[in-house]
A = this chain, B = another copy of it.
């Protein structure tokens, strides 16, 4: 990414661009188009609403955290009828609830799901949720921004019409690229969709990509970087990457529990993206995050929205191994002790290593 910028309509870039688009299809496990936009994941997600929906049409959003609430805001901003299946932050959405809400509300043209809710660490059973939506005749759009490449996601096999993701999470590239897969059924609906769009228009980008061109000047350096990162991921193998992430999540949760802290994220194998931990009584999680950054050089993240100050989150996706987990746990132990929290010391790192070894049988 530090190399000189190559011309985005010349042969040097076309080669990288074509390879990157193919690798995205492989990682998404789809035969369909994957459209690449220079934008955050939110922009790519918005493209799904603008390209699939029409004003007044019913769109169901499943929300159990910060990002689910954001997708509901987009649906409202575009003047669609919002059917909101809302959970408390941290709850795990269920396919039964989705089926019931679709039944009671008379269905929906599109269902929007958040695979990994980064604000809470919950990863939902997207296969079951997608099946419930398909049964009711809806198209299924999945926000896979933080899940793609970390936990299993079978776009075609599970009948997901549109998977939305971004460069900066498990795909190990700086932020700035968003992309979206589009099933044949989604293309059919796209022809009838009545919302205005230009930069995020799917058909315009598909036409350009078919000629290995981009509709607008792309973020060249990020595409070059993403192509390399996707190569790393595919060299490791998707299944191996999923197992590594599950083991990292297990190691993190066991270490946190050994310290005597309470998990906010569910204690289940699927929750392999980020682990949210409740701050001990009387401790502001934002202060712990800052102290760890300033004095230890370790970056955790605080809570978003209603969880601000109440949880800290340990990310374990992408270019990450068990020693990143043990470093985070050791640093957390130190910072919490210094802040006067009553925690168990000297056990978290060992417990995490054990759990990691057991999970991978190493």
Contacts from A to B (Cβ < 8 Å):
1-2, 5, 7-11, 38-43, 46, 50, 73-74, 77-79, 166, 168, 174-176, 195-201, 216-222, 290, 293, 299, 301
Contacts and interface: CB of A to CB of B under 8 A. Distances in A.
A198 B7 contact: no
Contact of A166 (B196, B217, B293, B301): B217
A218 B175 contact: yes
A285 B77 CA distance: 46
A301 B39 contact: no
A125 to B, nearest CB: 26
A144 B79 CA distance: 32
A16 B290 CA distance: 18
Contact of A42 (B9, B42, B199, B299): B199
Contacts of A222: 174, 176, 219, 221-222
A313 to B, nearest CB: 11
Contacts of A50: 196
A174 B195 CA distance: 31
Contacts of A11: 290, 293
A38 B40 CA distance: 7
Given A46-B199, A175-B217, 16 more contacts: A10-B293, A11-B293, A38-B39, A40-B216, A40-B219, A43-B199, A74-B198, A77-B196, A78-B196, A166-B217, A174-B221, A175-B218, A175-B220, A175-B221, A176-B222, A196-B196
A195 B301 CA distance: 35
Contact of A175 (B39, B200, B219): B219
Nearest to A166: B217
A217 B41 contact: yes
6 contacts: A1-B1, A2-B2, A175-B218, A176-B221, A195-B196, A199-B200
Contacts of A46: 198-199
Contacts of A200: 199
B73 A198 contact: yes
B42 A216 contact: yes
A198 B78 contact: yes
- Which of A73, A198, A216 has the most CB atoms of chain B within a 10 A radius of its CB? A198
B2 A168 contact: no
A299 B176 contact: no
- Which of A38, A166, A197 has the most CB atoms of chain B within a 10 A radius of its CB? A38
